[in-house]
Structure 1
Amino acid sequence: MFRETKAFSGFSVDDLQKAKAFYGNVLSIDLSEVEEMGLLQLHIAGSSDVILYEKPNHTPATFTVLNFPVDDIDTAVKDLKALGVTFESYDFPGLKTDENNISRGKPSVAWFKDPAGNILSVLQG
């Protein structure tokens, strides 16, 4: 039924303008606002657009909603920290982050949150 359909993903935020500033200015993602529908479209290179919508009773996702593959995770984390992004630290059996907030492995991953509390990641390998 959907073999030829190009699907897209979406998730909620609590403040569309804060999301627009974060995704557009901090993460430097091309985006557009569909004001009449109250949507923000993230134009992810080489992928389908991701739709963000404002939800008054928004609850942040407890899982990673968006992953950004990078060539050099150490540089990506350093650059994002310089822009004010705070990374998560984990110390669980089977999931530990180092002093740079990176879980080393295949892939290496570092998690951070958007202004609405949704979990995002950068990953390498």
Structure 2
Amino acid sequence: MTDTTGPLSDSPAFSGLSVDDLDAACTFYEQVLGLRTSAEPTMPGIAHLHLGGGRDVLVYAKGTAHTPASYTALNFPVPDVDAAVAELSGRGVRFLQYDEPPTDPTGVMRTGGPLIVWFTDPAGNVFSVIEQR
């Protein structure tokens, strides 16, 4: 059996993602997605994106050196994807369309797993809304 203890085994790890414009990203997270953000008072160019369950994601400005996450950087589980899509569409979110996996006209992938839809933040990072009942 492998030893599963080490210097990081009890670390309260967190994730982070970069953006090209921190103000635009935080405005989108707050006004469009309805999430809360806060600036890191001791480090300019860094903010915390506050998620459910007391979890935070570190968001940091990288300016022109930013490369968007082309993979799904954040997943938002919801009980009803169609309701979330309707509300977010009304707030201006545009959902991505894919041939593989195939998505319907609203952007929802309805085959081969839970219902899921993808969109990007202003920096081009890919997020998803996934149905979890």
Higher-Rg structure is 2
Structure 1 vs Structure 2: percent identity of aligned residues? 46
Distance 2:51 2:128 in 1: 14
Question: 2:61 matched to which residue of 1?
Answer: 54
TM-score normalised to structure 2 length:
0.88
Question: 2:25 matched to which residue of 1?
Answer: 19
Question: 1:73 matched to which residue of 2?
Answer: 81
Cα displacement (A) at 1:98: 0.8
Where 1:99 maps in the other structure, the secondary structure is coil
CA offsets 1:67-110 (integer angstroms, 9 cap, x no match): 00001000101110100000000012xx1001221001422110
TM-score normalised to structure 1 length:
0.93
Question: 1:113 matched to which residue of 2?
Answer: 120
RMSD: 1.2
Aligned AA for 1:70? V
Question: 1:103 matched to which residue of 2?
Answer: 109
Question: 1:4 matched to which residue of 2?
Answer: 10
Question: Post-superposition, which runs of at least 4 consecutive aligned residues in structure 1 deviate over 6 A?
Answer: none
Aligned AA for 1:4? D
Unaligned runs of 5+ in 1: none
Distance 1:120 1:62 in 2: 9
CA contact (8 A) 1:7 1:48 kept: no
Question: 2:3 matched to which residue of 1?
Answer: none
